[in-house]
């Protein structure tokens, strides 16, 4: 026992000595002026300050240290931008220096060595995939082609809610919204739907949730330098299990697509609308293509679509409905607008949304207070100077979108849910604010070349599903005065701390046929 204690003491002395020597040499080497920083601890830096919810903790730190901070996450240098002015400096003025996303062990493994689009390094492959995304995969033409899919899946969702309403049964609203968005994404991506196979549906949803959970989980090897090649948390086993399941699913789907494509060439139905996987396979088989996509590229891109498209839209719609339940006056205004524009004899559709400015304002206000991605993450590719401070290359950037949306310098009564701030009021500039990254006080989808390419699809799904839920049902909740707890939970996509459980009550009588 004494020998063990002696060896352990020697190890601690060696470890502390190494840290002190590294710190000393770093200070001697570094003559740059870094932004303000809180007091750091040895080894872990400022990691202890980020609990329990990072975007909230960073916002609290920024009130003391300013809108541009320097922090150390273990041995990883980071800067935090917490104002729209700082966000604009990083994402527009110095965008070329912050066009990369940092590589993490988890995401790198899940995406076959960053073979995807979202986390690929900025370069020829990323530019090619961006062009394909905007011109083919998520273009207006493709979204129009898949309008019947979105309409059909919304109809299924409303039929399910009507069944629960007739039985006066409680519903996990967030869970059903995930089912809705998962079905839309799977049909658009792979011409597959889980609607008729509940076991398969549950497997796909669990897989997507596991990927999102692992991607957002803190991994020691990414931040503590001497843990780089260690798996102290047992992450590798979980990652392998999830990716193996995804591989099996995708191999089967790709094989089915390839067989269907052969049948088409042999005289089958050639009028079928191509899904996103068909387009990716076309590119991979095109010898004249600017880039030849590998099987790993295709799998990784499909993974991106599932991870980014399923949970995010559902979470936003869930937050919006929760706010409306807590603000009955706003709910009534939204219903009055829908009744006037759409009527009570048919269900609201995507084509109606342009004539529903108050509904659009509700979604904007939800995205301001509850941005799906509360933090934008980038990494500097070169040394630069911002706000009078030196930012070295390989510095990780966090733009706190959640904090920026609550900044009292840009928002009057920033903690209040007030859609009217986005409506046309004479002399107000807020009426022109958009969510597509041009206004840096409102960045729910990011900004610049690495902003979310699926913004249009997300807005269509969120606005139409929310409008239908407002139009068709009242929503009863348990609890004091029938209000909803608005606490946030930890995660990549700003989940609620507690699920939104409601009893839907039919509002329209007779109910319009679907």
Binding residues for heme: 452
- What is the SS3 assignment for 236-285? HHHHHHHHHHHHHHHHHHHHHHHHHHHHHHCCCCCCCCCCHHHHHHHHHH
Query: DSSP of 164-221, one letter per residue?
Result: HHHTT--EEHHHHHHHHHHHHHHHHHHS---TT-HHHHHHHHHHHHHHHHHHHS--HH
**Residues contacting residue 136 through CB under 8 Å, at least 6 positions apart:** 142, 279
Which residue is associated with the tokens 């062990």?
Answer: 105
H/E stretch holding 443 reads none
327: left (phi over 0), alpha (psi -120 to 50) or beta: beta
CA distance 421 to 429: 10
Closest CA to 310 of 207, 195, 402, 399: 207
- What is the SS3 assignment for 319-350? HHHHHHHHCHHHHHHHHHHHHHHCCCCCCCCH
CA distance 290 to 239: 32
Q: Kindly report the backbone phi and psi dihedral angles of residue 208, in degrees, each rounded to the nearest multiple of 5, phi listed first.
A: -65, -45
Beta-ladder partners of 400: 375
Annotated binding site: 452
**Residues contacting residue 470 through CB under 8 Å, at least 6 positions apart:** 324, 331, 334, 335, 338, 359
Closest CA to 408 of 398, 397, 416: 416
Going from the C-alpha of 284 to that of each of 289, 295, 471, the distances in angstroms are 8, 8, 44
Q: What is the largest CA-CA distance in the chain?
A: 83
């Amino acid at each position: 026992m004494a020998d063990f204690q002696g060896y352990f003491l020697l190890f601690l002395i060696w470890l502390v000595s190494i840290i002190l020597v590294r710190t000393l040499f770093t200070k001697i080497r570094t003559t740059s002026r870094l932004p303000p920083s809180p007091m750091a601890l040895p080894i872990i830096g400022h990691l202890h300050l980020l609990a329990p919810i990072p975007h909230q903790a960073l916002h609290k730190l920024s009130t003391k240290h300013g809108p541009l901070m320097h922090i150390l996450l273990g041995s990883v240098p980071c800067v935090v931008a917490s104002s729209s002015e700082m966000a604009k400096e990083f994402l527009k003025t110095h965008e070329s220096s912050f066009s990369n996303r940092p590589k993490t062990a988890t995401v790198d493994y899940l995406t076959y060595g960053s073979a995807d689009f979202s986390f690929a390094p900025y370069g020829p492959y990323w530019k090619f995939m961006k062009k394909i995304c905007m011109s083919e995969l998520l273009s207006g033409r493709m979204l129009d082609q898949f309008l019947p899919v979105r309409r059909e899946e919304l109809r299924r969702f409303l039929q399910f809610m009507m069944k629960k309403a007739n039985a006066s049964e409680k519903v996990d609203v967030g869970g059903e919204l995930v089912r809705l968005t998962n079905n839309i994404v799977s049909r658009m991506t792979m011409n597959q739907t889980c609607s008729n196979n509940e076991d398969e549906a549950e497997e796909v949803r669990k897989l997507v949730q596991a990927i999102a959970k692992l991607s957002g989980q803190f991994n020691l090897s990414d931040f503590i330098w001497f843990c780089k090649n260690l798996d102290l948390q047992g992450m590798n086993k979980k990652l392998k299990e999830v990716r193996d399941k995804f591989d099996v699913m995708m191999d089967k789907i790709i094989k089915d697509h390839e067989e269907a494509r052969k049948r088409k060439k042999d005289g089958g139905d050639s009028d079928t609308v191509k899904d996103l996987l068909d387009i990716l396979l076309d590119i991979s088989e095109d010898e004249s293509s600017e880039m030849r996509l590998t099987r790993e590229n295709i799998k990784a891109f499909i993974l991106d679509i599932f991870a980014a498209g399923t949970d995010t839209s559902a979470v936003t719609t869930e937050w919006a409905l929760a706010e409306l339940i807590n603000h009955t006056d706003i709910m009534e205004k939204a219903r009055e607008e829908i009744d006037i524009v759409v009527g009570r004899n048919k269900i609201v559709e995507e084509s109606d949304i342009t004539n529903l400015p108050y509904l659009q304002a509700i979604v904007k206000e939800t995205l301001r207070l509850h941005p799906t991605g509360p933090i934008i993450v980038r990494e500097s590719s070169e040394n630069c100077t911002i706000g009078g401070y030196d930012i070295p290359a390989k510095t990780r950037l966090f733009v706190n979108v959640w904090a920026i949306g609550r900044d009292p310098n840009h928002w009057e009564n920033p903690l209040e849910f007030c859609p009217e701030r986005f409506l046309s009021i004479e002399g107000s500039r807020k009426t022109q604010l958009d969510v597509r990254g041009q206004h840096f006080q409102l960045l729910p989808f990011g900004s610049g070349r690495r902003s979310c390419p699926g913004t249009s699809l997300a807005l269509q799904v969120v606005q139409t599903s929310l409008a239908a839920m407002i139009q068709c049902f009242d929503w009863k909740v348990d609890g004091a005065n029938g209000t909803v707890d608005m606490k946030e939970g930890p995660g990549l996509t700003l989940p609620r701390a507690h699920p939104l459980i409601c009893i839907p009550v039919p509002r329209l009588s007779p109910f319009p046929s679907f």
